Every structure is written in structure tokens, then in C-alpha cells.
Structure 1
Amino acid sequence: MSAPKSLLLAVLVLLGACREEAAPPPPVRPVLSIVATMQSTEQLGPFIGLIEPRYKTDLGFRIFGRMVARFVDVGAVLKKGEEIAVLDPAVQAAAVRSAEASLANAEAQLANTQAEEARLKDLVQRNIIPQSQYDLSRRNFETSQANVTRAGASLRKAKDALAYTQLDADFDGVVTNKWAEAGQVVNAGQKVITLARPEVREAVIAVPDRIAERLSHPNDFAITVDLDRVVSMKAAAIRAIDPIADPNTRTRNVYLTLNDPPTAFRLGITVSVTFTRPVAAHVDLPATAILEKDGKSFVWVVDVAKGTVSQRAVTVGAREGDNIAVTSGISAGERIVTAGVHSLAEGQAVKVPQ
């Protein structure tokens, strides 16, 4: 072989070796992942709510009129019978005076007809006057008696109307709201204040409609009511749930019974409420971590030491929103890929971002 040909062959061999050495290694793919945490309890919340009275009453005047004064404000503590507000009593006072005059007139007429009936009774017994004349006086006397009864009833009604110009507390309580101001003309039955019984309190929270459906069925949720994370207590039960969701917020109010709440749980205080109950052990994963193939469910488990992934079959439990409960196939502490599960291969090199 000539020297030029030998030299050319050597160059070609060297170029081939360089080409083989320059082949890049398989790329290391970064993946998103989470560390599996075993869950043995189910927790709903926390939900923010208020301490409210279970029993409260809207108080108002029984008659129409102009309110001249209101003596209480929100937060006032009232005793039964304590004065709350008054209406201008001028019209009712005049009605009382008119009714008193009518009663006096009716009583005077009764006295006259009674005397007339007694006088004519003696005369008719002696046959001095005809029976018809006596009967007429008797009817006049009975009419006068009825007039006195009617006038007395009218006077009592007028006095009641005068008493209705004063609004008093029907029971011991706390004013939680006000609806009318001094100088305002109010109708009969119109709300003036809201009076609550402070001894019976409950926690009221708003929860999404789907959660309210779960709470409305018999369950073993433990309900914790926290006040500033310092004072807390267990709620006795769910007393009631609004049957219809609010059209704007799509939430429903849940009313929680509190037995002997601490004094710190005052009316109007904001609280945080959580619902907790034991459940079968499981791992919560985002739905993007599950690979569905051939009617089975799989996840990609990251081997942190080797920097590779391996596919593993799992058993899927309940699905709620974007989360899926995996009941078997995963151990606590394992790292699970949460995105791009359809583009991975068995044993593929991966990198977990720090």
C-alpha cells in the first residue's frame, strides 16, 4: 500500500473514533414532584365565622308615629322592662283625654237613667203610670250601662295606645343592631333594634355548597372552634344548615351548637372552624400525577439516589376536585412525579429541581 493511501486510511479511522466519542449522553430531564405524605384524617376548613346569638328578636313599636328618642345603641346591655325608645305621644294623649270625657259622660247618663228607672218602678207598681213608660226607662237604663262599658273599653284602648308609644325590652339581652333613628317616622311593626339573648351562643360559618352537602348527612366530624388560635373548644353538633345557597357567593350558612362556651366567645367575635374525622390511610396526589393506561392507574416514582424514574401501579380511591386519594402502591416519603407523566420512560434519568 502506498504511503498516501496509508495516511488517508489512518485519518479516516481517527475521524470515526472522534465521531464515536462525541456522541452526547441521554438528556437528564427536570421533573416536578412531591414527597408522598400519608393522611389518616380528613380535614375540612378552616372556615371563618362569627359567634352569634341563637335567639334574637327584632323589636318595634306597635303603632305608627314619629320617634322622638332612642336611648340605646349597638352593644348596650338591657334588662327586662328597660326603656329603649319613645314616640311623640301627643295624638295618643289627646285620645286618652277624649276617652276619659266620653266615659264621664256615659257614667253621668247612667246615673240619670238609673234614678229614672228606680222612680218609675215604684210608680208602675202602684199602677200610677202605664207599664210601657216604665219599660222605656228600663231600656234607657240598660243602654246607659252598655254605653259605660263601651266608653271604658275605649279608654283602656286609648291608654294602651299611649303605652305603645314607649318601647321596652321584653327580656334581658344585648342590642346587636339598630334600624331607626330619632326623628324618623316609623310604621307599626317596623324594626327599631335587634335584641339578642347572650346566654345561648352559636358559631355561624359559610361553607361551599358541595361541602354543606357532606355536612348535612350523619357523620363523625369533630368540630373545633378556634379564637385567635389561643382559646378553642369543640362544638357539640351541627344544629342546622341553610337549605338554599346564597345566589351571590354560592355558600350556605352552617350553625354550630356551643355548650358552655368560654367567656372569650363573645357575640360578634370572629372564629375559625375546622371539621376533622379519621379516614382510611391514603396519599393525596394531584390528578396530573396519575397515568391511566389499559384501565389501570400508575405513577412515576423518583429514585433520588440513582436519579431515575420507575413506573408503579397504584389503587385510586376518592376523587375530589383536582386531587385524587391513592390508597395503596405508595409509601410515605417516596417522591412522586406530578407533571408530564405521559412523556416519561422506564429508567429515564431525571433531575428534581431544588
Structure 2
Amino acid sequence: MRLAAFAFGATVLSFMTGCSEDGAEKQPPARRPVLSIVVQPATEHQIGFAGTIQPRYQTDRGFQVLGRIVARHVDVGDLVKAGQKLAENDPLVYQLAVRSGEAELARARSELDRAAAKRERTASLVAQRISSQADLDSADQARDAAAASVRQAEASLVKSREELRYTTLIADADGVVTSVDAQVGQMASAGTKVMTIARTDVREAVVDLPEGVARALSAGSPFEIALQADATIRVGGEVREIAPQADAATRTRRVRITLDRSADPFRLGSTIYARALAAAGSSAIEIPATSILERDGATLVWVVDPASRSVRAIAVEVAERLDGDVRIAKGLEVGARVVVAGVHSLVDGQAVAFDEGAVK
């Protein structure tokens, strides 16, 4: 009797246990809540930086000969034209050198005329067999030496006249005087900077950018330049030059942006605001840096399938890393929903729950 009761109890317990296990298998798995966004193309790079307008071309002007400055015709801020006199050295020493060169040239020419006449007489005497061939050879040599002296005197005179011309400092192009480094009465050695002339026809915006931002740019990257005094005055520009190294103190790199046109409001020295734009037709996508998963040498992101409400990992190519964001070049489609937190604890096919309104 007891054995029958025990067998009946075991059968009932086994049936109840089987029912419990079958019921647990039929329950759907719990969905894990995740933070996600729907990404959009980054059509503009909205980072702006302060800078100044500077000339693309500027030259340090100085005398090419030693002398004492006796006149300076321009000052800082003056507009100059090509060929205009800027300053003058004392020309007396060089005027005397020109006179000496002219006298030396006259003497050399006179000596050449005498040597040429002597050679003709000697040639006549040789023809009459009065003088020897050696006398004619000596006359030829003297005439040639006199001709060489003339050429030397001519070259010396040209040099003296050129040095006299160098005592007047001339503007080589239209521009504006940005600095003056010598005063009247001062001795100026050859090559010493007297003033700086900046050309006004080609102007550039010069900005110092963080190294990470500058590294993402290249020659030709588009910018929009606005005056800080009046932000409604704007002009386009393109990157011409990026400093190859960052400044040791500020860790920024200097970027020069050539303006599309030399608009008058953008005067040299004006303070501007430069905003980087994405290149035309760019379809790069920006997502938070927390979305990136590095695994086995691959760069991955978790994409949510809205239909099955599950996640899967896809490989992507990172174009650049910005402050807190990552720009994706390949592998991610516009409109995809990407998990932005907890990427290290997900597995392929895992069911998730998400807020459908989040958009990047």
C-alpha cells in the first residue's frame, strides 16, 4: 500500500516538473534596454575658430648697398604703388664711383684707339719690310689688351651705376607698409630690413586649430569666413596650407585659408570667425565615440534591426576622430539605428528594447 502511494506521488511530481519546464521554455526571452540613435549624414562641420586676415605675400625691403639713410617717404599703414620711392641712402659715394668709372672708361677707350692706330702703322711697316713680324704681334697684343681694358671699364661703370640706383629703395609691387624698422640718419648695411610691404591683392584667413581638427583637414577643404565685427559679411575660402607640426606650447596647428575674393571689408589685420564646412557631396556619418567596439583588430558598431528588435555587429571604417564623436567613412548606412552605450556586453542576435525617437 505504501509502495503504491509512493509511486503515485512520484508520478504526480514528475508530471508537475515537466509542466513547469515546458512553461518556462514557452516564455519569451527578456529584452535588454539599450541607448541608440538613428544616424544622419554630417553635411556640415559646425566647428568655428577665431583668426585674423593676413596677406599671402609680404616682403622685407632693404637697401642692397651700405649707406646712411637720408630720407624715408612712407610710414606704417601707407599704401604704395609699384615703382614708388620708399627711402633713400646718401648717394654721394656712389655718384663719385660713377664719375670715376666714366673717367676710367674714357681713358681705356683712348688707349684702345692709340693701340689700334699703332697696330695699323706697324702692319704698314711690315708690309714694306721695314718692321718685323714680331713687332706686328706685339702691336696686336697691345690692341687686344686695350680692348679688354675697355670691356672691364664698361662693366665697372655698369656696376657703379647699378649701385647708385640701389641707394633708392623702390616698391616692387602694390601693397601696404606693415612695419618700419629703420629711421632717417641710421646706417643701413646691405640686406638690413628697412620696412615690410604686404600685398593686398591676395588675402588669407589665418587660424590656429586643435591638432585633431587640423589633422582632419586637407588642402582645398572649404571654409566660411565671417567678420567678427559684422557676422553678416561673409566670404568663402579654401585651405591652402596646414602647418606640419603643432605648436609646442598651445598644441595647435596654423592653417591658412585663401579667400575666394579680396572683399574690401576683410582688411589686413581684421579679426574673423572661420567655420569649417564639409566638402560638397560628403556623406560621412558622425556617431558618438562610445558606439565604437574594437575587437580582434576590427572596428565594429552594433546596429539594431527594427523588425526583429535585435542587434548585430557590423564592421566600419573610421575617417576621423573628433572631440567626443567619430566620423564614419564606410560600412554604415544613413538611417541605421546604432547602439551608443554598453557595446562591450552585447552579443549577436540579442533582443533589445530601445527608444524609437532618438536621432543623431
TM-score range with shorter-chain normalisation?
0.5 to 0.7
Q: Which residue of 2 aligns with 1:89?
A: 91
Deviates more, 1:82-91 or 1:230-239: 230-239
1:41-190 superposed matches below 5 A: 43-190=45-192
1:219-234 superposed matches below 5 A: 223-227=223-227, 228-234=229-235
Deviates more, 1:49-58 or 1:274-283: 274-283
Q: Which residue of 2 aligns with 1:254?
A: 255
Q: Which residue of 1 aligns with 2:271?
A: 270
CA offset digits 1:93-152 (Å, max 9, x no partner): 222122122112212212222222222222221112222222212211221111111111
Q: CA RMSD in A?
A: 3.5
SS in 2 for 1:274: strand
Contact 2:219–2:239 (Cα < 8 Å) also in 1: no
For normalisation by structure 2, the TM-score amounts to: 0.64
> Cα 1:271–1:111, aligned 2, differ >3 Å: closer, same or farther?
same
Q: Which residue of 1 aligns with 2:242?
A: 241
> Cα 1:226–1:78, aligned 2, differ >3 Å: closer, same or farther?
same
> Cα 1:105–1:319, aligned 2, differ >3 Å: closer, same or farther?
closer
Letter in 2 for 1:251: T
Q: Partners in 2 of 1:149 and 1:211 — Cα distance?
A: 63
CA offset digits 1:179-217 (Å, max 9, x no partner): 322223223222222222211112111112222112248
Letter in 2 for 1:210: G
Unaligned runs of 5+ residues in structure 1 are 1-37, 286-316, 334-354
Cα offset, 1:226, TM superposition: 1.1
Contact 2:220–2:240 (Cα < 8 Å) also in 1: no
> Cα 1:73–1:320, aligned 2, differ >3 Å: closer, same or farther?
same
SS in 1 for 2:111: helix
> Cα 1:282–1:133, aligned 2, differ >3 Å: closer, same or farther?
closer
Q: Which residue of 1 aligns with 2:330?
A: none
> Cα 1:156–1:173, aligned 2, differ >3 Å: closer, same or farther?
same
Q: Partners in 1 of 2:135 and 2:178 — Cα distance?
A: 68
SS in 2 for 1:85: strand
> Cα 1:232–1:217, aligned 2, differ >3 Å: closer, same or farther?
same
> Cα 1:249–1:260, aligned 2, differ >3 Å: closer, same or farther?
same
Letter in 2 for 1:225: I
For normalisation by structure 1, the TM-score amounts to: 0.65
Q: Partners in 1 of 2:107 and 2:259 — Cα distance?
A: 61
Contact 1:283–1:327 (Cα < 8 Å) also in 2: no
SS in 2 for 1:205: strand
Q: Partners in 2 of 1:117 and 1:279 — Cα distance?
A: 88
Contact 2:213–2:322 (Cα < 8 Å) also in 1: no
> Cα 1:327–1:239, aligned 2, differ >3 Å: closer, same or farther?
farther
Contact 1:283–1:330 (Cα < 8 Å) also in 2: no
Contact 1:40–1:279 (Cα < 8 Å) also in 2: yes
- Identity in percent: 39
> Cα 1:319–1:83, aligned 2, differ >3 Å: closer, same or farther?
closer
Q: Partners in 1 of 2:100 and 2:164 — Cα distance?
A: 13
Cα offset, 1:81, TM superposition: 0.9
SS in 1 for 2:158: helix
Cα offset, 1:244, TM superposition: 1.5
Q: Partners in 2 of 1:281 and 1:163 — Cα distance?
A: 63
